[in-house]
Structure 1
């Protein structure tokens, strides 16, 4: 019985996350903060609290 169940395809519903736009904006802001930190434009004492607030 387990072999038969394992062989049958299982349909999974598409996962929809309503916060995709907000998540992308947060990720972009964090990437920007990390870039200015890596290039030495801002110190970690400024960048990391800002990233944490996001």
Structure 2
């Protein structure tokens, strides 16, 4: 299945110290990739993911 996740651009995914939304997006994205789904994450360019990353800006 092809899945797109969109995260807020003002913080990287996953956020280093706090950030519920960013952390949940990260957990869901990584779990779906592990299950074999084609996942694209739209987030800031300094985000770390094993999915395809489409940066909305260079860094948060």
Alignment TM-score, normalising by the size of structure 1: 0.41
* Higher alpha-carbon Rg: 1
Higher relative contact order (CA 8 A, sep 6+): 2
The structure carrying a bigger helix percent of its residues is: 1
The structure carrying a bigger strand percent of its residues is: 2
Alignment TM-score, normalising by the size of structure 2: 0.37
